[in-house]
Amino acid sequence: MEPITLQPGEQLTSRYRIEQYLGRGASGVVYRCFDTKYKRDVAAKVFPRELQQNRDFAARLNREIRAANRVEHEYVTKLYKCLIKEKYIALIMEYVDGVTLLEYLKEYSPLSPKAVATFGRQIAMGLNAIHAQNIIHRDIKLENVIVTVDGVAKITDFGVSRLNNPLQDGRAPTGELPIHDVDDATVTHDGRVVGTYHYLSPEYLSKQMLDSRTDIYALGVILFEMITNSYPYEYSSIMKLLDQKINSHPRDPRELRPDCPEVLAEVCLKAMARDPKERFQTAREVFIKLDAFLRTLPVSEHTSSISRQSLRQGDSNCTGKRGTGGDIGAGRSGHTSGRTLSVTEDLLERRGFFRKVAKSLATVALIGGLVVIAYSAWRLAGQPTWSSVDGDRDFVLPTGYRRINGR
């Protein structure tokens, strides 16, 4: 089925105007739109109307709408409304100015332990809010976490969420695994298993009862990837990966990153325990552990970085390695393997990356800012003052300046 193609300037309704194509998922296309009523950018996830005739798609769409509307949290994207048009259906969502965690890691790995714990803590807080509404996300992965221009991780895409209540069957989908549908180890939405194999819990693959601990398993995989820039299992085929996930323990992240703090490795491994009873029982427990680890680190501490030579490189499709065939982070000016970085330094150094996302806006803000500063200096005969924003964000901006995403 052909995706819906819309052009900049087209109107979804008189209120929402298409501004930019952002990307394509398994069944929908995402655009940045302008909300003329509230004068803000929003994201529109657009699906062909024909999909509404598909019972499975209709059920998934209903789950996405119901799930997202029930969650209000800083680390979870918001769903505003659903539009039903003659040729398509559009979900109007919060627009998050940033990149996926997958893109972020491709550009900036390896992360410092402090950065790993900071992102992990934020994801855990978002999951805790989702689970508090008796919802299982079921598709937690790097691609479904957005890192904003402030360095904040937000969970997105409730496309395969499952409302978790006694009236519904809590089992994983039945039937054979659609191995022939695999593209880079990703299962399509119309397959019998939804999500990405690397993040699917053993109980999911074994078609057992599911609960919120399946999301905690996926969070453990994300922590492993952020620490090592690799996958928890080495494998030569998808079938071998599935067998290992059910019958073998994942690798200790310290095998690939010897300088990984013990506490961080233990959190990662416990979250990925094969038996759900041996995992953290709630996302809040993960948050508490990561928060306690962060509190042991002085704000100015430089946590050790990993030598790039110790990272495993290779084809991410079958070898269990994420690398692109070259040095991770190679070509970045001033970033050598012997340098140590704290999360504050990481984010400050990486602001150049986010400036690519908002180059035009930054240029306008700079010109306007220079005018304001010059005028203020003339009127007040003083110097502009500087203050630090929320320490969790690790950015420093002139007092009174609005951050790029308006928060």
Residue 71 lies inside a defined structural domain of this protein: yes
Domain end (from 59, 94, 129): 94
Residues 370 and 247 placed together within one structural domain of the fold: no
The per-residue pLDDT for range 41-66, each reduced to its tens digit, is: 999 988 887 655 666 666 666 666 77
pLDDT at 81: 84
Judge if 176 and 46 occupy the same domain. Answer: no
Is 187 within a domain? yes
**Could you tell me if residue 205 is inside a domain?**
yes
Distance CA 177, CA 190 (A): 12
Structure tokens that stand for 398 in this block: 């002139």
Indicate whether 144 belongs to any domain. yes
In angstroms, how far is the first alpha carbon of the chain from the final one? 39
| DSSP E strand boundaries for 5-152 | 16-24, 29-35, 40-48, 79-84, 88-94, 98-100, 135-136, 145-148
Share of residues in the chain with pLDDT > 70 (%): 59
- Whether 404 is in a domain gets the answer no
Pairing between strand 29-35 and 16-24? antiparallel
Could you give the CA distance from residue 361 to residue 364 in angstroms, rounded to a whole number? Answer: 5
57 vs 35, higher pLDDT: 35
* pLDDT the model gives residue 61: 66
- Best-predicted range by mean pLDDT among 50-54, 224-228, 322-326, 367-371? 224-228
Alpha carbon distance 161, 210 (integer Å): 12
Most confident of 212-226, 236-250, 339-353: 212-226
Domain end residue (candidates: 94, 110, 127): 94
Active centre residues (catalytic) = 139
- Residue 406 within any structural domain of the chain: no
8 falls within a domain: no
Q: Tell me, what CATH number does 64's domain have?
A: 3.30.200.20
Same domain, 75 and 129: no
Give the pair of three-digit tokens for residue 390.
């929320």
Quick one: CA dihedral 53, 55, 59, 60, positive or negative?
Answer: negative
Collapsing DSSP states into helix, strand and coil, what is residue 378?
Answer: helix
Pair (314, 209) in one structural domain: yes
Q: How far apart are CA 19 and CA 109, in angstroms?
A: 31
Q: For residue 310, is pLDDT > 50?
A: no
CATH of residue 224: 1.10.510.10
Same domain, 216 and 71: no
Give the whole-angstrom CA distance, residue 47 versus residue 15.
Answer: 19
- Between CA 59 and CA 107 the distance in angstroms is 36
Q: Assess whether 51 and 74 both reside in one domain.
A: yes
Q: Write down the pLDDT at residue 27.
A: 65
Q: How confident is the model at residue 291 (pLDDT cuts 50, 70, 90)?
A: very high
Convert the pLDDT of each residue in 115-160 to its tens digit: 999 999 999 999 999 999 888 888 899 999 999 999 999 998 865 5
Please state, in angstroms and as integers, the Cα–Cα distance from residue 35 to each residue in 39, 41, 140, 192, 329, following that order: 5, 6, 28, 37, 37
The verdict on 301 and 364 lying in the same domain is no
More confident residue, 355 or 149: 149
Domain with 379, as residue range(s), is 358-398
Report the pLDDT value the prediction gives residue 34, as an integer from 0 to 100: 97
Structural domains in the chain (count): 3
Predicted confidence (pLDDT) at residue 227 exceeds the cutoff of 90: yes
